[in-house]
Amino acid sequence: MDSLRNFIDENRESFNTSELRSGHKERFLKRLKDQKTESHTKFIIMPQWARMAVASVVVILMAIPIFVNQRFSQMESGEYFTQLLENQSDRIEKLANTLDPETQYNVKSTLRQLTEDPIPLVQQLPNSISRKERREIVKGYYNNKLEGAERLETYVKSLVE
């Protein structure tokens, strides 16, 4: 390395004054141009339908967690199960309205016992339990109520027929 440096230092004047061979500038510019074109990244042009498909997939993948989280929140609060119970309760009441007054009173009384809670279960659960445990407890509680409502609906249907 030192010998090259010494050579350059000793012959510096000749480097500055010597003429380059003919065509040197053109060859240099051609090499420079070739290197520039090779180093550029080539873009792949996607058709419009492919872009739309990719955008749709991205939107769906972003939306899924929102819906899943919303459903888990509804399950933790009991809102999801309460809605199911209300729908079933409405069907039972419509069926019960066709029965005689005494049976109708008994059915509606039983239905109220299934659907009405003086203190909702969610308010009774301690905050120290995990979200998963909360969901499992709420699910088990409301599944029992829904099964009872299902049996009551079956009973009322048998009376109506």
* pTM passes above 0.85: no
12 or 151, which is more confident? 151
Q: pLDDT digits over 16-55, tens only?
A: 676 777 777 788 788 877 776 655 556 677 788 888 888 8
Mean of per-residue pLDDT scores for the chain: 81
Q: pLDDT digits over 62-117, tens only?
A: 878 777 666 666 666 677 788 888 899 999 899 888 888 899 899 888 988 888 88
Helix (H, G, I), strand (E, B) or coil at 105: helix
Confidence of residue 3 (pLDDT cuts 50, 70, 90): confident
Q: Residue 147: its pLDDT value, please?
A: 92
**What percentage of the chain has pLDDT greater than the value 90?**
5
Q: Residue 43: its pLDDT value, please?
A: 64
Q: Is the pLDDT of residue 145 over 80?
A: yes
Q: Which of 88, 91, 68, 72 is nearest to 138 (CA)?
A: 72
Q: Cβ contacts of residue 99 below 8 Å, gap of 6+?
A: 107, 156, 159, 160
Helix (H, G, I), strand (E, B) or coil at 66: helix
Mean pLDDT of 129-135: 83
